[in-house]
Amino acid sequence: MMSTNKGHTPARDFIRQIVKADVESGRYDGRVVTRFPPEPNGYLHVGHVKAISLNFGIAEEFGGRYHLRFDDTNPESEDEEYVLSMQEDIRWLGFDWGEHLYFASDYFGQLYDFAEVLVKKGLAYVDSQSGVEIRESRGTVTEPGVDSPYRMRSTEENLDLFRRMRACEFEDGAHVLRGKIDMASPNMLMRDPVLYRIRHAHHYRQGDEWCIYPLYDFAHCLEDAIEGVTHSLCSIEFTNNREIYDWVLESVGFEEPRPHQYEFARLEIQNAVLSKRSILPLVEAGAVSGWDDPRLSTLRGFRRRGVPPEALRNFVGMVGIARTESTIDVAKLDFAIRDVLNDSAPRVMAVLDPLKIVLSNYVEGPGEVLEAPYYPHDVPLQGSRGVPFSRELYIERADFAENPPKGFRRLVPGGEVRLRYAYVIRCEEVVKDAEGKIVELRCSYDAETRGGGTPDGRKVKGTVQWVPAQHALDAEVRLYERLFLDGASQAEQDEPVDLLARVNPKSITVIEGAKIEPSVADDPDDTRYQFERTGYFWRDPVDGSVERLVFNRIVPLKDSWGRKTAKSAPASPESVSSSTVIPVDAEIPTRSGGVKGPIRERPAVSEQRAAARTADPSLATRFERYSTELGLSTEHADLLSASHATGDFFEAALEAHAEPSEVAAWMVTDLRGLRGDRGLAGLPFGGEALGALAALVAGGRVSRRAAKDVLARMVEQGGDPSDLVAEMGLEQVDDHEALQSVISQVLEAWPDKVDDYRAGKKNLIGLFVGEVMKATHGAADPKAVRGLLTTSLEE
Ligand code: ATP
Ligand code: MG
C-alpha cells in the first residue's frame, strides 16, 4: 500500500534538506522562490548548468517558482548580446522561466532609496578618501583596519553628499558610499564595505540615467528581497559575503521571513575553464574560434559540438550538490554524453583514413544494396537503411596490418575479416606505390557469407566497417581533445595569461577526405550519429553546408584520455581506430565511483578483457554467444563477458527474466552506477534478484524510475525486489483513484496547513504537490496532482 513517507524521504542534498525543512516548518508559508542571477558579461558555461539545475530544479520539486535575473549592476562589462544569448542557452538547456524575467538594473531607483535609508539610520557614510587610501586603510587578515577620517560625518552631510553623487556633481572616484560596520571585523568584507561608487558610464539598459552604481554586496541581497526570493543559492566563493548579505537586509529593515543565502561547491572540471572572466581572454586572444568553439565548456561550445542538452543536465545531476569543492574528471562528462547518445544515435559507417579495397571476384558495375539496421538490439529504437555494396570499397587504414602485432583481430595478408552487414573477404594482394606506401588491397569475397555468417562454421576474427567507394560522401571531420594540457581549473583562474600558455596545440585535428556512407545525405542536418567504432558525430552547424560536409566528433566511443595520461604521453589525437578503454578496476566500469579519481592511472581495461578472452576460451565463447545468439551490442557483450563472475551474474539474472538486452542494460547502466567500487561478489544479492526486478518493471508492477530506488536499496541491504516494491510503497501509480488515496493521506498528515490553505494561503498548494510527488516517488504526473489537490482542498 502507498505510504505518504512524510519525513522519511531523505532529501537528495544538503540544500534540499534546508528547503524541505523550511517548507515543513512553514517558514515562508510553504513558499519556495529561487533565482539564477548571471551577470551578462559573457556566455554561459557548464558551471552555470549546475546553478540553473539546482535553482530551477528545487523550485519545481517544491512547487515554487524560479526567476531568471540579470545581475546587471556593472555598466562597464555588460551587454545586451549576452542577455539574449544567455536566455537562448537556458531555453536550449530545457528550462523556461515563464514571466519571471528580471533585471537588477530595473531596481536602481529602489536600491538608491534603500541606500538613503541606511544613511538616515547612520549606517552608511560618504567617504572621500581615494581608492588607494581605502584599500590601504582596510588592514590585513591579521591586523585591523583604520577608520576613515570621514567616518564621523553627520547624517545631514552624508545625505547631502550622497544626493549630489546621485545628481552627478562629482567626478569618478571623488566619493563612495560605505556601510558603517566595523573596521576591525575578522571578515574583511565587513570592514565598512563600499556600497555605491561613481561611474560616469553608459549602461546598456539604463543609458545615462545613472552615474552612481551599487556594488554586488549591497545590491544582490536587496534584489532577492524585492523579488521575494526565499532561498538564495550561490557558489562557495560567496561564503564570506553572507555576513554582509544579512547585514544589509537587516539594516535596511527586511524582517524574517526574509531571503537567506546558502552556498554550494562550484563545478570544477579537470582541464576546463569555468568562469566567464577567464574564458573571455581566450576568445579575445584568438586561442579559440569564438565563444562557441567546440573545445570550450560554454553552452555555445557544447551545442556546436553536438552535445545534447540532456547530457549536460544528467552530468550535473551525477555530480550532485555538496559543500566542498572537488574537481570532476572530464571522463565523467564524456560518460554522460555517451549515455544519452548511445540510446538515440543511429549507427552508420564512416572511414576517416580510407584504404581502398578492390574485390576482384565481385561483379563490375552497380552491385547490390544491403539492408543495415540503424540501432543495435539493446537500443529501444528501430530502423534501417540500405548501403550500396560494390566492387570497390574503403576500409579504415588501421584495420589492415601487413605485419600484425600480436592479438591483431582485423585484416592481414592472406587473412579474412567480416565487412559489417556484408561479406567475409580475404586479402589476396597488397598494392604499394613507389614509396612503398600501401595504396590498395586486392581481396576476394565469399558469396556464401552475405550478412556475415559463415555456413561452414569457420571462425572469422574481426568485423570492420566500410563504405562503398563510388557512392561514398566526402567529408571533413574534426576531432577535439582537451583544450588545456594540464590543470586549468579554479586555482589558475586569476591568471588568464597563463591559460594561453597551456592551450593544447593538438586540441583540434582536422581530417580532410574522410568517407561517409551515402545514407547520411538524406538525414536532417542535426542528426547525431554513431560512426561505428569511431565515435559520435554531427554536422558542424557553422562551417558545414550541402556542398561541404563537415562533421564534429561529439565524443569518442570510449575514453582514451586515461590511457594517454597514464602513459604520461603528451596529449595527441588518438588514432581513428581507437581501442576501447574503460576506467575500472572491477568487471564493469562504475558510473559514479569509477569514473572519478584514479581513472587516469588505470590501464586499458578493454584490452585486458580482450587479452583475458584470448587466454580463456570459455570467456571468448561467452562473448560470441552474447553478441550473436543473445543479440547484445559488442560493448555490452564485451563488458558482460569480462570475467566468469560477471557472466555468471548476468546469466543468473537471465534465468529470472529472459530478456538479454533489458537485463544487460540493468547491469551495465544502472547497477554499476549504484555499486560504486564494490565488485559484484560484494553485493548482498545475486543475479536472480536483479532479473526479478527487471521482470517487475517489464510486467508494469513498478516504473523503471522507481525500480532504480529499489535497486539502490538492494545494493545497500539486499532483499527481495517484490517485497521491497511493496514495502517502499512503489507500486505504479497510474490512475486517479490511487492518486486520490495518496492525496487524502497527505492532507490528513497536514491538518494545520489544510486549514491555512482554506483560510486563504493558496500558495501552500506547492507544499502539498511536493508531498504527493515525494510519496509517489515521482511516479505521478504533477499537473494531475495539482488538479486533484485543488479539487480536494476546495471540498
Ligand atoms: P564571472 O567570471 O564573470 O564571475 P561566472 O562564470 O562566475 O562569471 P556569474 O555570472 O558570476 O558567472 O555567476 C552566475 C551564477 O552562476 C552565480 O550564482 C554563481 O554562483 C553560479 N556559478 C558560476 N560559476 C559556477 C560554477 N562553476 N559552478 C556552479 N555555479 C556557478
Ligand atoms: Mg562569478
73-119 pLDDT tens trace:
999 999 999 999 999 999 999 999 999 999 999 999 999 999 999 99
User: What is d(CA 248, CA 263) in angstroms, rounded to the nearest whole number?
Assistant: 18
How confident is the prediction for the chain on average, in pLDDT?
Answer: 88
Ligand 1 site, CB within 6 A: 37-39, 41, 47-48, 50-51, 234-235, 266-267, 274-277
**Residue 572 pLDDT:** 32
Q: How large is the average pLDDT for residues 276-295? A: 92
Is residue 377 exposed (0-12), middle (13-18) or buried (19+ Cβ within 10 Å)? Answer: middle
When pLDDT is cut at 50, 70 and 90, the band that residue 734 belongs to is: low
Is 713 assigned a catalytic role? no
Q: What percent of the chain has pLDDT over 90?
A: 64
Q: Which H or E element spans position 518? A: none
CA of 478: how far to CAs of 66, 180, 336, 375, in Å? 39, 57, 21, 24
When pLDDT is cut at 50, 70 and 90, the band that residue 5 belongs to is: very low
Q: Are 534 and 467 in contact (CB under 8 A)?
A: no
Q: Which atom of ligand 1 is nearest to the CA of 51?
A: 30
**Residue 628 pLDDT:** 82
Residue 128 is given by DSSP the state: -
- Compute the chain's Rg from CA coordinates: 31
| Cis amide prior to 257 (ω within 30 degrees) | yes
* Ligand 1 centroid distance, CA of 106 (Å): 21
User: What is d(CA 113, CA 271) in angstroms, rounded to the nearest whole number?
Assistant: 45
Whether 489 shows a pLDDT value over 90: the answer reads: no
Q: Which has the higher per-residue pLDDT, 412 or 588?
A: 412
Q: Which atom of ligand 1 is nearest to the CA of 42?
A: 3
Which numbered ligand comes closest to the C-alpha of 77? Answer: 1
* Ligand 1 centroid distance, CA of 381 (Å): 38
When pLDDT is cut at 50, 70 and 90, the band that residue 659 belongs to is: confident
Ligand 1: which residue has its CA nearest to atom 9?
Answer: 38
- pLDDT-wise least confident of 239-248, 412-421, 486-495: 486-495
Q: Which residues contact 447 (CB under 8 A, 6 or more apart)?
A: 423
* Ligand 1 centroid distance, CA of 48 (Å): 6
Residue 203 is given by DSSP the state: B
Q: What is the number of other CB atoms lying within 10 angstroms of the CB of residue 278?
A: 20
Is 564 assigned a catalytic role? no
Residue 571 is given by DSSP the state: P
Q: What is the number of other CB atoms lying within 10 angstroms of the CB of residue 407?
A: 9
When pLDDT is cut at 50, 70 and 90, the band that residue 559 belongs to is: low
Whether 560 shows a pLDDT value over 60: the answer reads: no
Whether 213 shows a pLDDT value over 80: the answer reads: yes
- pLDDT-wise least confident of 199-203, 351-355, 600-604: 600-604
When pLDDT is cut at 50, 70 and 90, the band that residue 480 belongs to is: very high
User: What is d(CA 234, CA 248) in angstroms, rounded to the nearest whole number?
Assistant: 17
**Residue 209 in grid coordinates:** 540615467
b/e burial code for range 509-520 (CB count within 10 A of at least 16 → b): bebeebbbbbbb
Place of cell 578496476: 585
Whether 126 shows a pLDDT value over 60: the answer reads: yes
CA of 174: how far to CAs of 124, 132, 146, in Å? 17, 12, 20
* Ligand 2 centroid distance, CA of 196 (Å): 19
When pLDDT is cut at 50, 70 and 90, the band that residue 740 belongs to is: confident
User: What is d(CA 156, CA 138) in angstroms, rounded to the nearest whole number?
Assistant: 25
**Residue 606 pLDDT:** 67
**Residue 310 pLDDT:** 97
Question: How are the residues of the chain apportioned to helix, strand and coil, as percentages rounded to the nearest 5?
Answer: 40, 15, 40
Q: Are 496 and 278 in contact (CB under 8 A)?
A: yes
Whether 21 shows a pLDDT value over 80: the answer reads: yes
**Residue 600 pLDDT:** 29
Q: Which atom of ligand 1 is nearest to the CA of 277?
A: 2
* Amino acid at position 79, single letter: D
Whether 574 shows a pLDDT value over 60: the answer reads: no
Whether 581 shows a pLDDT value over 60: the answer reads: no
**Residue 792 pLDDT:** 87
**Residue 142 pLDDT:** 92
Q: Which atom of ligand 1 is nearest to the CA of 238?
A: 20
Catalytic pick among 31, 35, 39, 60: 39
Whether 3 shows a pLDDT value over 50: the answer reads: no
Ligand 1: which residue has its CA nearest to atom 26?
Answer: 47
Phi, psi of 142 (to 5 degrees): -95, -20
Q: Are 684 and 714 in contact (CB under 8 A)?
A: yes
Q: Which residues on adjacent β-strands are paired with residue 480?
A: 508
Q: Are 238 and 246 in contact (CB under 8 A)?
A: no
Is 276 assigned a catalytic role? yes
Which numbered ligand comes closest to the C-alpha of 42? Answer: 1
**Residue 9 pLDDT:** 60
3-state secondary structure of 248: helix
